[in-house]
Structure 1
Amino acid sequence: MKNIGQRLLEERRRLGYSQQYLARAGGVSAHEQRQYEQGEDLPRADYLAQLAAHGVDVVYVVTGKRSTVINISRDQAQTLMDNRVVGQEVTLDGPPEEDLYFKLSDPSGPPPDQS
């Protein structure tokens, strides 16, 4: 089973980033970056939050499970909503430059009520 450091290294390589670039993006030294990737130290939450802004799947790094969040433009989101909700007007509030995130739901639906 992969640990956080191995998954962090995998994500860095997937994105084509150097250790130096990812270190700068996360606000740490190249030495700290190497320690994280080698499993000698655990990354801090603020570092991981900064990496998320650079496309790192932080959910995967921490849990080992790929994130199901996708980033699409406001126009693409409006088109999806218009085609999904037929006969109902749907608008997306907020500034147009704001990123939108969608969590893909399980097609089988929510789990049954446990009560």
Structure 2
Amino acid sequence: MRDERVRLGLSQEDLALAGGVNRNTQGSYERGARNPDTAYLMAVAGLGIDISFVLTGQKQISDLSGVEAQIIDQYRNIPEDDQKMIRRMLEAMAVMESRSHD
């Protein structure tokens, strides 16, 4: 939820207001301490929140930007060993990024 809020440049207060909850409840959704109900999800979807991503943690292929689609196309057209190297590099970068937020 936080990733989507940040992607859209919204504050916790903005999202809480749109979803009909208070800021503390919004924070608990973002921490994973509570799960939002359907009414909340439908309300925040109107702001552009990707509900599928919020629920699954995965972006849908149709949601890719042109650059992201190009990267995937290029990835699919390189040798398997190169694909493995790119996956290792991305995994290492993701670990480093998650540690920088702790």
TM over 0.5, shorter chain: yes
Q: CA RMSD in A?
A: 1.5
Specify the alignment match of 2:31 in structure 1.
Answer: 38
Per-residue CA distance 1:57-106 (angstroms, 9 max, x = gap): 0010001222426xxxxxxxxxxxxxxxxxxxxxxxxxxxxxxxxxxxxx
SS at the partner of 1:61? helix
- 2:22 is the alignment partner of 1:13: no
- 2:9 is the alignment partner of 1:23: no
- Give the unaligned 5+ runs of structure 2: 64-102
4+ long deviations beyond 6 Å? none
C-alpha displacement of 1:39: 1.1
User: Percent identity of the aligned residues?
Assistant: 42
Structure number with higher helix proportion: 2
SS at the partner of 2:48? coil
* Equivalent position amino acid for 1:55 in 2: G
TM-score by length of 2: 0.58
* Equivalent position amino acid for 2:4 in 1: E
For residues 1-115 of structure 1, the aligned pairs below 5 Å read 8-67=1-60, 68=62
**RCO greater where, 1 or 2, for CA within 8 Å and sep 6 or more?**
1
Per-residue CA distance 1:31-75 (angstroms, 9 max, x = gap): 100111111111111101111100000010001222426xxxxxx
Point out the structure with max Rg over C-alpha.
1
Structure number with higher strand proportion: 1
SS at the partner of 2:4? helix
TM-score by length of 1: 0.51
- Give the unaligned 5+ runs of structure 1: 1-7, 70-115
